[in-house]
Amino acid sequence: MSWLSKIRDFLTRRETVISGGGPKAIEKQIAMGKLTARQRITAILDPDSFHEYDLFVEHRCADFGMDKKLLPGDGVITGTGTIMGYPVCIFAQDFTVAGGSLGLAHARKITKIMDHAMKLGIPLIGINDSGGARIQEGVNSLAGYGEIFYRNTLASGVIPQISVILGPCAGGAVYSPALTDFVFVVDKISKMFITGPEVIKTVLGEEISMEDLGGARVQTEISGNAHFYADSELECFEQIKKLVTFIPWNNRKKADPYPPKPPRPGYEIEKIIPPEPNRPYDVRDVIRAVCDDSDFFEVHRHWAANIVVGFARMHGQTVGVVANQPLVLAGVLDVDSSDKAARFIRFCDAFNIPLVTFVDLPGYLPGVDQEHAGVIRHGAKVLYAYSEATVPKITVILRKAYGGGYIAMCSRHLGADFVFAWPSAEIAVMGPEGAANIIFRAEIQAAADPDAMRREKVAEYTEKFANPYIAAANGHIDAVILPADTRDFLIHAMEISAQKIESRPTKKHGVPPF
Amino acid sequence: MSDQHEFRQLQLDDTVYETLFTRKFARRTPYQPVDPRQVRARIPAVVVSVSAQPGRRVRRGDALLVLEAMKMRNEVTAHHDGVVARVLVAPGQLVAKNELLVELE
């Protein structure tokens, strides 16, 4: 073979694989409203940055006539590239090739790129669009999944792992995304479930659509399995790009700083909190009023909205923000919001991202459903995550900090480095009404006018305890600050904590209340 | 992804807060105490056979009926001694989770 014909032969071979499942399958993919795996990679990565590996990998299955089937790339595309200049490893399942089904060769391409990501210390992005296990390969496809899960677990807390669900992701396949740090879904395209509607119908007699069972909305709002929701694939890719700018390459690094920017004008920080202590407001306005460019990138926005978590920058440095949200369920901690906060705190701690906590909560949500769902062990996750975290921890108490909620929200007692409180803060064992009713029960009952006595005692308690000064007198908070000074205090606290080193007892790992 | 944008009232420790409800919270079902006389399906299933008969005395542990779910047959037994008051299902019937199967007196 001449040199030229070798080149031609290579180009033909490459062309065959690159065309994936062929024009018909691609047409079908597009008809489903989906981009192809290659289009997705191109759209997520910086232009011309994608470098592909393992293009010519083939499966070795000979059963059920598989030996006569050539599956281009074995249904998955793997490689490296950059996003906004940040290096990443990426894989994209190709639904046009045997439904993106996962066989051993397919899995080994994924595990190989995962191993690369770990060795190189760069984030991993996985695009899932697969019908599931390749049944013809039997237990080998299960082996493939297992090898992926194992690596997801080892990589957890070492490199950021991002999963993008752009098609079906069902059965065992869901557990790879579930083990990763951030899951992105797109309306009408993403479908995640352990058992699909058909199985549920045959086995259990319950009828439900794929969308209602495990569509994008369900996964972002009800189950919390997904962190980011988008209306379109392109919107989803923009979200991924934005996320990447906030997080470091790996756990040995810090997130890259950006040029500092002041908050945008228009957020009047003094006017955000209503004067009545039981009135709601949007705590995200407080976050936007203090962070760079008022740019708050919310994680898990639609799930457990009674707590807000996400990334922002203070004077150019990434921070992880956790804030009770009085707008929703009065900002209480409950099963879901505890889960949400704890997971986020652990991500930030693992990746050297300082934590800023804004506190305004009346406590834990009462209810039989909450108690039976294990609000005790879920609530404990928040305590665990904050206590365990060694990144700089800065807390700002905006208004209510009552009882167990006060302790849980990164109090001094859980190792906060700095605790600030606004003059509107109420740091107390419980709200004035509840406290007065207990402490002064006898006086209220004995009074000629119990209601008048109750009001008097509530006022007395409010006057004495519904403020930050008793906590300040005990040194539980470091400073009472004006709302307008919050940004300055936060930036200063972060700057002087930049070299913070806090050690923990030697252990293999803790046993958090999962 | 709209939450209900209507403020509701949530009472905690004698204080009433104005706030939005999540859809999940608004849809929660109130707790119903367990009635030991009611035998309910623990899992959605198909009724394979029914041995309980109204008026018949049963002892704790006696089989009342057999349910099939997830390719397994499960005997449903009486939680305590009593008399079968009502049998609400028949063989071949598909029952939902928590559906009432048999009532004891």
Q: Give the pLDDT confidence score for residue B105 in this predicted structure.
A: 87
Residue among A279, A332, A366 whose CB faces B18 most closely: A279
ipTM over 0.90: no
A283 vs chain B: nearest CA distance in angstroms? 12
Which pLDDT score is estimated for A78? Answer: 98
Q: What is the largest CA-CA distance in chain A?
A: 110
In words, the CATH class of domain B38-104 is mainly beta
Q: Is B46 part of the contact surface with chain A (CB cutoff 8 Å)? A: yes
pLDDT over 90 at A347, yes or no: yes
Q: What is the pLDDT of residue A386?
A: 98
User: Which sequence spans correspond to the domains of chain B?
Assistant: 38-104
Where would I find the H helices in A32-78?
A: 37-44
For residue A39, pLDDT over 50 is answered with: yes
Scanning A188-227 for CB atoms below 8 A from B yields: 203-206, 217, 220-222
A-B CB pairs within 8 A amount to: 92
pTM: 0.93
CB contact under 8 A, A304 and B22: yes
Q: What does the block give as tokens for A363?
A: 């406590």
CB within 8 Å: A431 and B14: yes
* Chain A interface, best mutation among B3, B4, B14, B28, by max A CB count within 10 A: B14
> Are the Cβ atoms of B15 and A362 closer than 8 angstroms?
yes
Neighbours of A13 (CB within 10 A): 12
The predicted model gives A139-149 an average pLDDT of 96
Mean pLDDT across the stretch A427-439? Answer: 90
Minimal CA separation from A37 to chain B, in Å: 27
Residue of chain B with shortest Cα separation from A274: B18
Q: Do A329 and B10 touch (CB under 8 A)?
A: yes
Contacts of range A244-247, beta carbons closer than 8 Å, 24 or more positions apart: A244/A83, A244/A84, A244/A86, A244/A88, A244/A123, A244/A162, A245/A84, A245/A86, A246/A297, A246/A311, A246/A313, A246/A318, A247/A123, A247/A160, A247/A311, A247/A318, A247/A351, A247/A353
> If we measure between CA atoms, which residue out of A242, A216, A174, A409 comes closest to residue A303?
A216
Has residue A35 got a pLDDT over 90?
A: yes
% residues pLDDT > 90 (chain A): 90
pLDDT bracket for residue A205 (50, 70, 90): confident
Q: What is the pLDDT of residue A206?
A: 79
Q: Is the Cβ pair B7, A280 closer than 8 Å?
A: yes
Q: What are phi and psi of A365, to 5 degrees?
A: -75, 120
How distant is the alpha carbon of residue A11 from its chain centre?
A: 42
pLDDT of residue B2: 42
Q: What is the DSSP letter of A406?
A: H
Q: How far is B17 from chain A (nearest CA, A)?
A: 5
**A367 CB near a chain B CB, below 8 Å?**
yes
For residue A369, give both structure tokens: 């459903």
Which residues sit opposite A314 in a β-bridge? A317
Query: Each residue of A349-368: pLDDT tens digit?
Result: 999 999 999 999 999 999 99
Q: What residues of B are in contact with residue A434 (Cβ under 8 Å)?
A: 12-15
Give the closest of A229, A331, A369 to B28, CB-based.
A369
Contact yes or no for B22 and A326 at CB 8 A: no
Q: Is A328 on the interface with B (CB under 8 A)?
A: yes
Asked if A362 and B17 come within 8 Å (Cβ–Cβ), the reply is yes
- The neighbouring-strand residues paired with A395 are A357, A419
E strands present in A325-410: 355-361, 393-402
Does residue A15 sit at the B interface (CB-CB below 8 Å)? Answer: no
Strand, coil or helix: A114? helix
B24 touching A (Cβ < 8 Å):
yes
Q: What residue ranges define each of the domains in chain A, with the CATH number in brackets? A: 3-246 (3.90.226.10), 269-430+467-496 (3.90.226.10), 432-465 (no CATH)
Q: Say whether pLDDT at A211 is over 60.
A: yes
User: To the nearest whole number, what is the mean pLDDT of chain A?
Assistant: 95
Q: How far is A65 from chain B (nearest CA, A)?
A: 30
- Write out chain B's pLDDT in tens, 105 residues: 444 578 999 998 888 999 999 888 888 888 888 888 899 998 888 999 999 999 999 999 999 999 998 788 999 999 889 999 999 999 999 898 889 999 998
Q: What is the mean pLDDT of residues A368-377?
A: 93
